[in-house]
Amino acid sequence: MKDFKFLKFLDKFKFLFRKLGVDYEVMRKILQIKLLMDGRRVPTVFSANDNKKNEKENSNRFLKSLWVYVLMGIILIPFILMESSYLFQMSIVFSVVMFFIMSSLISDFSSVLLDVKDKNIIGTKPVDSRTLNFAKTIHVSLYMFYITTALILPGLIASFSKQGIVFSLMFIVATIFLDMFIIVLTSFLYLLILRFFDGEKLKDVINYFQIILSLVIAIGYQLVGRLFQVVEMNVQFTPKWWQYLLPPVWFSAPFEMMKKSEVNVVYIILTVMAIVIPILAMAFYIKSMDMFEENLQKMTNNSGKRKKVKRKPGGILSTVLCRSKEERLFFRFASDMMKNEREFKLKVYPSLGFAIIFPFIFIFQRLSMSSFAEISKGKSYFFIYFTGMMLSSVMMMIKCSGTYKGAWIYKTMPISNYKPVFRATTKAVIAKLFFPIFLFQAVVFIGIFGVRITGDLVVVFLNMMIFTLICFMAMEKALPFSQPFDASKDSNVGITFILMFGIGALWGVHYFIDKISYGFYILLGIGIIANLILWSVAFNIKPEKLNNAL
């Protein structure tokens, strides 16, 4: 069996693990097997290449994906090179690092942190739980080290050349403490959920938690940016109580004290928090590993009774939106799949969350340059078009499912024409995913800009439906939920990028024609006619044109 360099490095600290009550030889063997098996796992950022047959059997595709993180890390360089306010610039740096590391931990390693297979397989052997838990923690920490190193490498090189070796060493130490904090924070948030839920309900809660956490991290960017005010190119920091709750600020304070020689109570408290909180959290996490594993066993408990949902035969929405009996059937099928399949929700729902908040983020940013009264009289409501950018990714994912092998059911149905299938699924996407988001944003925008924008919102909705149909027509055709997620990006990633310009074109046409007299009626007429034509021709697909592995 292959002996990894990391394990040889770990051998130098085996005395420390033995003092902590770990059977080092057993832990080393478990890690060796895990590292060997990792060559088969494909990280999220590299999943598009999962179907390549020419990969070497022993190659670790995770390590080959690290160049993506190096590329992302380039955005840190400008903030590292700044010398105006180290608290400001390093808060931005650590926010970016925390976002990417925590996103990777959620997307690629939640299955490792929440894995019960080790407990069921290895736990039945003469292996104590502490040894097994340490093996799991070190396994995750190793890959976090790889990701972190790749991510901060461009900024580290820039800091060494511009800020000096002391700054660079402090950057490395601060990042290590940040990683410790991220591991513990993620684990304890999962533990909090595990204490109150079990079985299938727990898996649903974790699924939604992963989605919400991704959105919270994205919104956190805005908070970090609001910590500071830029007055005549001078960054000013005004201490507030809630700033002590933001980890990026903790790790930035030492840089301000070192480079600016500004030592005060606020910076000292933040620096102490950056050191003490991760250490205490890690110590508590090590002691509570057994409790975490006990609660983790609830993942296998599916004893909770499911409530039987009574539904009217036709369903109100399907009856209103669908013409034929077949179309109503597939509308309900698509709606249930989008609502109940966890993997689909984990892939799609974060983009829906970003679609909700993006228009408001842009308006929020404009408040720093204009007053609320000025914005309410303007045309910033056109930012609602950013909501449509998620439609292309949703239409791309609608053909995918974690249970795609069940697509054989299409063959058992007496269907000669798949038009009702595609038509109903597209209607389900609009009715169940897009329209609730659009309606919420429309109500808020009317509250901000007044009822004068109601006509424009109707035009926006018509344009969004046009864009949805264009996305469907442009992408590779496959029956809904009939392909694995790994195939979703293979042929459509370029088309998805081009379609983003499509929503921009609809935005531009709307914006300029709206300035013309009777422009609203022109746009309304064009939108209605275009929708009637596209809804009648977009789904005329011959069965032999479908790309399905049925």
pLDDT value at residue 445: 92
483 neighbors 400 (Cβ within 8 angstroms): yes
Domain spans in the chain, listed from the N-terminal domain onward: 5-40+57-300, 316-545
pLDDT-flagged residues of the chain (< 70):
1-2, 38-65, 106-120, 123-124, 194, 197-238, 289-290, 292-314, 368, 486-494, 496, 543-550
What DSSP string describes 434-461?
A: IHHHHHHHHHHHHHHH-GGGHHHHHHHH
Instruction: Name the 3-class secondary structure at 78.
Output: helix
Q: Hey, what are 399's tokens? A: 């053909």
Strand residues in 377-439 grouped as ranges (E): none
Contact 221, 94 (CB under 8 A): no
174 near 254, Cβ under 8 Å? yes
- Inter-residue contact 138 to 31 (CB < 8 Å): yes
Measure Cα distances from 209 to 95, 203, 212, 249, 346 in Å. 20, 10, 5, 24, 10
pTM: 0.62
Which one, of 373, 103, 352, 85, lies nearest residue 225 by Cα? 85
